């Protein structure tokens, strides 16, 4: 074996046997394990975050969180609900101009006098919507105090609202159909 001083440790350690000198000065022989233990499987890498849009100002805004309670499941149909709260013959459908000005986003709107509060000066507003956010925004901007709403496959979201807390009695007949009367969230 022709070893130079620089190369001999490398050749010696690269074989299946290695020699070591302990502090005692006696040689110790260590044999290499012919089968290396299997390396533990690495944990899966976390999913990368979605790429940032090239033009962030063109990305769609996140959907707004609903501010009003979700509509409750109810029984009956719109005609039943109107008969329960509206005085006979007082329902008046709104015009397209009134609807777009006062209730932007509404599919239909109308008003009626209260059946249980005939002397009530305030009207009951009946509106239909396709989006909860538009309904909440319009109720706030029209300064409604209380509302009861329901979502159905036939009518979308139907909302009955009054402008004063004292008119709660006008909406209470709707509770027998499963409606919940809720305060309108304040304007932000």
Taking only the tens place, the pLDDT of each residue in 48-69 is 766 666 666 666 666 655 555 5
What share of the chain has pLDDT > 70, as a percent? 63
Is the pLDDT at 32 greater than 50, yes or no?
A: no
What local confidence, expressed as pLDDT, does residue 58 receive? 63
pLDDT for the residue 18: 44
Q: So what's the pLDDT on residue 172? A: 94
**What pLDDT was estimated at residue 82?**
93
Assess whether pLDDT exceeds 50 at residue 15: no
Query: What pLDDT is stored for residue 53 in this prediction?
Result: 61
91-101 confidence digits (pLDDT tens) = 889 888 888 88
pLDDT in tens, 102-160: 888 888 899 999 998 876 566 899 998 888 888 888 999 888 999 998 887 777 889 99
Arithmetic mean of pLDDT over the chain: 75
3-state secondary structure of 159: strand
pLDDT recorded at residue 37: 52
**Is the per-residue pLDDT at 85 higher than 90?**
yes
Angle at 123 between CA 120 and CA 128, to 5 degrees: 150
**pTM strictly above 0.75:** no
Joined tokens for residue 39: 């390396």
Nearest to 163 by CA among 114, 129, 96: 114
User: Residue 36 pLDDT > 80, yes or no?
Assistant: no
DSSP 38-64: PPPPPPPPPPPPPPPPSSGGGSPPPPP
User: Which residues are CB-contacts of 131 (< 8 A; sequence separation ≥ 6)?
Assistant: 105, 157
């Amino acid at each position: 074996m022709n070893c130079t001083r620089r190369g001999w440790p490398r050749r010696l350690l690269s074989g299946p046997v290695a020699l070591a000198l302990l502090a005692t000065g006696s040689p110790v022989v260590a044999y290499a394990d012919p089968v290396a233990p299997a390396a533990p499987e690495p944990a899966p890498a976390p999913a990368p975050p979605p790429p940032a849009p090239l033009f962030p100002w063109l990305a769609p805004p996140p959907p707004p969180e609903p501010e009003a309670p979700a509509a409750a499941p109810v029984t009956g149909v719109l005609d039943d609900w109107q008969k329960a709260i509206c005085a006979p013959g007082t329902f008046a459908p709104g015009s397209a101009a009134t609807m777009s000005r006062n209730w932007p986003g509404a599919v239909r709107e109308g008003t009626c006098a209260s059946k249980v509060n005939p002397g009530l000066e305030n009207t009951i507003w009946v509106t239909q919507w396709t989006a909860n956010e538009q309904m909440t925004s319009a109720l706030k901007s029209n300064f409604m105090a209380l509302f009861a709403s329901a979502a159905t496959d036939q009518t979308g979201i139907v909302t009955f609202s009054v402008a004063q807390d004292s008119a709660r009695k006008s909406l209470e007949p709707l509770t027998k159909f499963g409606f919940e009367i809720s305060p309108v969230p304040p304007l932000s």
